[in-house]
Structure 1
Amino acid sequence: MKTIFGPINSRRFGSSLGIDLSPALKQCNFDCLYCELAPSATTDKQVDVVEVSTIINELKTHLHDKIDVITLTANGEPTLYPHLDELIDEINKIKNSTQTLILTNSATLVDDKVFSLLLKLDQVKLSLDAITPSVFKRIDRPHKDIEIDKIVQRVEEFSKVYKGKLFIEILFVHELNDTKEEIKKLNEVLLKVRATRIDLGTIDRPPAYPVIGLSYKELYEASHLFDSSLPIHIASRVHAEPNNAPYSDEDILNTLDKRPLTLEDIDLLFDEKSKLRLEELISKKLVITKKIGGLEFFILHENEKRKRLK
């Protein structure tokens, strides 16, 4: 199974070539309510592991000088990948001027080894959805023994020693972590964190559980509850720049498997021939559409069936 997907024009990180460190199945220490992957039991280690050599060989065939970032992610939590230290070293040997980025839920920062190896990356995005233990457990549904107080402490410590670009992401879920009380606690913590940018987001893709996101107006109002000194940014896809690249049938299916796309995303990403290929895949019922929050997403038919079975 392919580990490389994209490139995708990320709303926040530019042209991103993704590396999925768990392409075969979801392996995560969280089971977040808002996750776009189907619900699954949490874990603290990977049982299905891709070899570093496989990833690097695939990366070499896709990497070019128009890629802004090589993004380490996963069907789950990328820092659970047991060879992450070696992989980062191998990527750094071939990446040239391209930046490295990891998207992590922050939980494994309590591990000294993970803490140290993330320092070798050019960019790190840490998620921090809640501070109150009860809210944290409700929204992120963590693996046993994961405590938010310890995560917060390590996020603060990491931000003070990390030399690259540090991003903090808060994903708001309606009537869970969007209260004034919770935002006040988030604000208090973030004032102690040295972040390049703090992204306020919400559910904009079909979630694993029946929860809803905030409107742009609600996100805007929430942003004003944070201290004005904080680098708050309301994450929004409308700022994406066109890419219009060629995608094969396999590329389209692989990309949609990793990330559901709207028609707006398709217009930004695909060239005209690729759009025709997408239409053919839809006619073959390999790709279907699903509506959420007034937006229509293109997803794999196989993924929709998998969610129904959960």
Structure 2
Amino acid sequence: MNNIIFGPIHSRRFGKSLGVDLSPGKKQCNFDCLYCELDPAKTMRGQDEVLSVGQIVDAVKKGLQEHQDIDVLTVTANGEPTLYPYLNELIDEINKIKGSTKTLILSNAATIDEPNVQEALMKFDEVKLSLDCATQKCLKKLDRSHEGIDVERIKAGMLEFKKHYRGELVVEVLVVKTLNDKPEEITALNEYLLKLQPTRIDLGTIDRPPAFDVKPVSYEELLAISHRFDASLPLYIASRKKTDISSSCYTYEEILETLSKRPLTQEDIEVLFDKESQKRFENLLHKHKIRPVETNGVKFYKKV
């Protein structure tokens, strides 16, 4: 039962997190993503190895007693947590004991069109949904979805969920070299995300050893891809590993032009701007030509 709870893990985006694994015994998922760090496994529609609500709640209680400075309880799984058949009952029980700790669920969104899943997810403080692909061809090739899972139903389900959800909705796009980094895939994602308007979009790439021989893109490529999304979208570049880029000199005009295309975080600024450019950035901030905007725990700087 101990392996139901893992962590705590420190996250820049979510704070100090204690993990709750709804499938600690084996991988149970409706996707078999090429980039998954877990070994390949046959996709499934529902869990065939199921923990009781009582087992999980007991483990959560113990975890909260041991770690009393937790910011967020993160519900996840060796696979997909929404396949857990008692998710609705479980989140009701967790909400009774969590106190001021926030709840977060990490889902691949494959079941988001199902009313019972939406009902359970409504009860979380934060929901993070993956959306690597906005086309069916990409979903089958990259996420290797279970038979019958349709990207248009996922997209419609997310829109319906967003309409009623009052918490923080984060969408994660994980970019894999040669698979979903093509202009037509990014265009399709951009068009859809403009309709969805999530609280934040995390744009990342592979940073753990994947099950299959697929490759990450570099920070420079992620930055270029981010410019293909509409500048109004709250997009956060979540991966800075393998950053070979050397900082550059930016004029005042170039700083403002860059921020008009894509709001940047402090980490981006430190990677992209040399020392003189960072001083210019501070001057622009002081003169209110740039303003900070906080979105779900991440501070962005954008042109006024």
Q: Which residue of 2 aligns with 1:81?
A: 84
The one-letter code matched in structure 2 to 1:46 is Q
Q: Which residue of 1 aligns with 2:42?
A: 41
The secondary structure found in structure 1 opposite 2:95 is helix
The secondary structure found in structure 2 opposite 1:108 is coil
Once the two structures are superposed, residues 178-219 of structure 1 have per-residue CA deviations (whole angstroms, 9 ceiling, x without a partner) of 111110100000001131100001000010110001111111
Q: Which residue of 2 aligns with 1:27?
A: 28
The one-letter code matched in structure 1 to 2:36 is C
Q: Which residue of 2 aligns with 1:165?
A: 168
**Contact 1:11–1:236 (Cα < 8 Å) also in 2:** no
1:137 equivalent in alignment to 2:140: yes
Which of 178, 188, 191 is the equivalent residue of 1:188? Answer: 191
Gaps of 5+ in 2: 242-304
Where do residues 87-106 of structure 1 align in structure 2 (5 Å cutoff)? 87-106=90-109
**Contact 1:11–1:237 (Cα < 8 Å) also in 2:** no
**Contact 2:103–2:126 (Cα < 8 Å) also in 1:** yes
1:66 is displaced (CA, Å) by 1.2
Q: Which residue of 1 aligns with 2:215?
A: 212
Q: TM-score, normalised by structure 2?
A: 0.77
1:230 equivalent in alignment to 2:265: no
**Contact 1:16–1:69 (Cα < 8 Å) also in 2:** yes
**Contact 1:69–1:99 (Cα < 8 Å) also in 2:** yes
Q: Which residue of 2 aligns with 1:290?
A: none
The secondary structure found in structure 1 opposite 2:111 is helix
Once the two structures are superposed, residues 140-197 of structure 1 have per-residue CA deviations (whole angstroms, 9 ceiling, x without a partner) of 0000000001101111121121100000000000001011111010000000113110
1:237 is displaced (CA, Å) by 6.8
Q: TM-score, normalised by structure 1?
A: 0.75
**Contact 2:205–2:217 (Cα < 8 Å) also in 1:** yes
Where do residues 263-302 of structure 1 align in structure 2 (5 Å cutoff)? none
The one-letter code matched in structure 2 to 1:189 is Y
The one-letter code matched in structure 2 to 1:166 is L
Q: Which residue of 2 aligns with 1:260?
A: none
The aligned length equals 238
1:146 equivalent in alignment to 2:149: yes
Q: Distance in 2 between matches of 1:166 and 1:30?
A: 21
Q: Which residue of 2 aligns with 1:14?
A: 15
Q: Distance in 1 between matches of 2:6 and 2:12?
A: 16
The secondary structure found in structure 2 opposite 1:190 is helix
Q: Distance in 1 between matches of 2:86 and 2:157?
A: 22
The secondary structure found in structure 2 opposite 1:110 is coil
Once the two structures are superposed, residues 221-256 of structure 1 have per-residue CA deviations (whole angstroms, 9 ceiling, x without a partner) of 111110010000011378xxxxxxxxxxxxxxxxxx
Q: Which residue of 2 aligns with 1:51?
A: 52
The one-letter code matched in structure 2 to 1:190 is L
**Contact 1:32–1:141 (Cα < 8 Å) also in 2:** yes
Q: Which residue of 1 aligns with 2:72?
A: 69
Q: Which residue of 1 aligns with 2:267?
A: none
Larger radius of gyration: 2
1:117 equivalent in alignment to 2:123: no
